[in-house]
Chain A
Amino acid sequence: MSAGRAWAAGAGLDIPSAPRCVTQTRCWTPPVIPGHEARSVESLCWAAGDRLFGAGLGGDITEYDLSGLSAARGVDGGGGPIWSMVANSTGTQLAIGCEDGSVKIFQVVPGGIQFERNLDRRKGRVLCLSWHPSDTHIVAGSIDFFRVIDVTSGQTVQRIMVNYHVEKAKRECVVWAIALLSSGTVVSADSFGRVQFWDWEQGTLAESHTVSTSAVLSLAVAQEDSIIVGTSTGATYHLQLLPVRLGGLEKRWVRTKPFQFHSHDVRAVAHSPTALISGGLDAQLVIRPLMEKVQKKSYDAVLRKFTFPHRRLVSCARKARLLLFQFSQYLELWRLGSTEETGKDGEVLPLCRMPEHLVQLKSKGPEHIYSSCVSPCGTWLGYSTASRFQLYRVHCDGDGVSLRKVPKVPKLLPPAYQLQFSADSESLFVASARGSVHVFQLLEPGGCKHLHTLRPPSGCSEAVYLLAPSADGHWLAAVSGDWAIHIYNLKCFKHHCVVPTYDCAVSAIAIHPSTNNLVIAYSDQQLFEFSIPEKQYTSWSRTVQSRGLHRAWLERDSPITHITFNPKNPSHILLHDTYLLCVLDKSLPLPDDSALLMNQSTLKQLPETARKRQLHAFKICKKFQPLLFMDLLDKNCLVVVERPIMDFKTQLPLPVQQKKFGT
């Protein structure tokens, strides 16, 4: 699947790399490559199999290291800001379109990329590029015109003015996206809202479709007969090449399906064989499977929308009642408020102490913060970026809060992918590359010593992205990029065992404080419980697998991002995803498909005896959405962090006005 133009919000970008298994879109927790303030990405493409390259307005072509999740090598394009980059059909060459009007060809070699040659340069920035499927020609779109270049000779063989047909051309026509089909048709999308089909050899316009009043910003083609375009108003359109008469030979392009999934500009679209994928400025990624391409009408054929990142951005210090919020360039530490009153179900109690914003810690340098953590006692705080790792000591005395940086933090090979403090706040676990986890001991006045590095016995090329220490400090579970879960014994720093492999990404893990059972939530919504001392799945877990989980549970959109436990009741497991929080009671029976999964509201209305019959293990609350975090504090308190969508939508760039009848 080719990626369309990637858009960078502001100048930094967290790129979710394309899913490892394209067809199984549910089995997916995307790894994230942290962004950089100075690096703006305008274009991404895959080359030479599975190497990811990005280019942007900084003028550099960067290769991304997918196992290390960082930007690996950068080569200066040499033509100023790069507006677009495409790979040829074999993935051996990259063509870039630059600000100065040149199109340059780079060769993809094992170590990186090498400049090969410059093609014919004309005045006017090259905004979009496309290779012919046979790699003989490249079409380059610019302002008011596009040109077709013969790759072997490097000369422009045709130059076509796009604005010729508009009578009163008051402003210039920008060709935002272009594609060259194998039949020799050039498809162009311009800022007047038109999608036009040209015969480049004759230099004639075959068809012109005005799909929108505002600009058409992106275009993607699949299998030569299906095109998706995205516009400035947030609408996406599907165009298909259909025969004029049933069974006839003559075919025409027709705009078949309009979609309005986004509220802001759609600057990146992609077309896989079975689905249309669009990414908008409103922070949503929408996957719309095409009905006619889907064999089985199952849950996979449903529209998927992804708004929030599937990783943990909030940490909680339970004993100190502090919350740490991770933003891309700074961290915020808040103290929770408290109340003395009690009330009934559904009441909002008044606070006697308001929540306080204690400190905002800005990260040094242009890189985005990758992970952060606060210790359970609330006195240690750490964060990591792509090139540095910082640890701070927090002192809260009365009203004032002071942060002191811990000097002489042992140097590790950056970046640290995940940070986790132990339950007694005496050790820090740092997830690193190649499956290794570093254990640091935290010394009292403010120091840090490297104790040990835990490594999987058979070696691993991917980085660890999830950590879970046990409450008694005996065990540590680590999940690496190849989805293997390793369990280490912290008393003797040895590898204990590996959880049996399951072909799906892990989205959350946690170790029960009293029974030392590892609870695992996978991206396909399966739940497992693995007993660490016994090195096997527990009987409850086997029951769950044999009975199967409820259909409504398996058809949820977002993965579980955090698991926690109730110290008072060892059979409770608390989980949450973006749209619900659930208390799983292992002592109650599991629901079968005929029962209602979200039955809390109906149970409330039933009398006591009837309630006992219908009670099942899943107690789900959908009152708070969208959820970023949920954790259990002491004294029957649950903290839930919601991030209303309207809060950040109003801070996005301006949307295009949509005239509605009657307003």
Chain B
Amino acid sequence: MARRQKAKAAAAGKRKALAALPSPASSSEDEAPEEVSFGVAREAAEAERKLVGEAARRHRELLKEKRRRHQELFAEQKKRRLLPEAVLQELQELQELQDVSARPAEQAAADDPVTLGEELEAEAVELEQGQAQRQGQAEVQEKKGKRSKGARTKGNYVAVCLKDHSATGLHQQLARDFLNAQLYGPHTNRVPANEFFSLANKRGPVKKAAIHFVDKSWGEYRKSQSRYCFLPLWLKVHLNKSRVSMLEHPGL
């Protein structure tokens, strides 16, 4: 009985709450919509549009600012990484000189002053004698291989191309992993070599001991324990001995 009364009270409370809320669904169903004039509605819509437009414009300008700032920062950093202007100028002149005598196509890729900066930090940089450079240019052209390509005049170094990491190694590794997983994965019921070959020892006409490979971890615990067990025992025994002897000869 008490339970039923409580439930009724709860339901009544809910209905009151519902009635207090301005339910938009019920209002649109029961009553006719509010009458608003055309002009007022138009102005409201325009105001809204203006606000949204201004917000978007502000947002765009903010982004532009950010981008501009970032560009300037990068330009700054780039300038810092490059060599001083004087050196670049000299190299440029010498580059033009070499262009005249050597093959232009191979130098084209190496001409870029930006990559020069990066190449300086590359791993394989060989030093070459500067004096031999001009004289040796003819020889350089005849020589095959990486030494002649991209040979920098002023001749402090030669940039060479190392072995490149292609994707084939990765593919091969994935293929091998698949093969290993399929043949030696957890479901394949593989057994270590000593168990397998011990079977022959046990089943042959002359029974022998099982093959068991020596494991360095055997007895590690016992070995470590013995260090701690032995010393207290020794002390105990020897201290007792000396005590006993003192008791027996009180004069000492």
Contact = CB atoms under 8 A, between A and B. Distances in A.
B78 interface: no
Contact of B189 (A40, A57, A653, A656): A656
B90 interface: no
A99 B176 CA distance: 11
Interface residues of B, number: 26
Contact of B193 (A171, A191, A650): A650
Main secondary structure of the interface of B (DSSP, over half): helix
Given A57-B176, A657-B189, A660-B203, A99 B171 contact: yes
Contacts of B184: 653-654
Given A654-B193, A663-B199, A663-B203, A171 B187 contact: yes
Interface in B161-180: 168, 171-172, 174-176, 178
Main secondary structure of the interface of A (DSSP, over half): loop
Given A654-B184, A663-B199, A59 B171 contact: yes
Interface string B74-97: 000000000000000000000000
Interface string A26-47: 0000000000000010000000
A655 interface: yes
A662 B194 CA distance: 18
B197 to A, nearest CB: 7
Interface in B184-230: 184, 187-197, 199, 202-203, 211, 213
B183 A215 contact: yes
A657 B188 CA distance: 9
B215 to A, nearest CB: 14
A616 B129 CA distance: 77
A59 B172 contact: yes
A139 to B, nearest CB: 20
A244 B220 CA distance: 65
Contacts of B178: 125
B182 interface: yes
Nearest to B180: A653
A152 interface: no
Contact of B199 (A265, A649, A658): A658
Contacts of B211: 650
Contact of A81 (B171, B193, B195): B171
A59 B174 CA distance: 13
A375 interface: no
A655 B171 contact: no
Contacts of A480: none
Interface residues of A, number: 32
B197 A654 contact: no
A174 B171 contact: no
Given A57-B172, A81-B171, A657 B191 contact: yes
B175 to A, nearest CB: 4
A125 B179 CA distance: 12
B196 to A, nearest CB: 5
A59 B167 CA distance: 11
Interface centre among A81, A171, A646, by most B CB within 10 Å? Answer: A81
Contacts of B213: 650
Contacts of A59: 168, 171-172
Given A191-B182, A650-B213, A654-B184, 10 more contacts: A80-B168, A81-B171, A99-B175, A125-B178, A174-B182, A214-B188, A654-B190, A657-B189, A657-B190, A658-B196
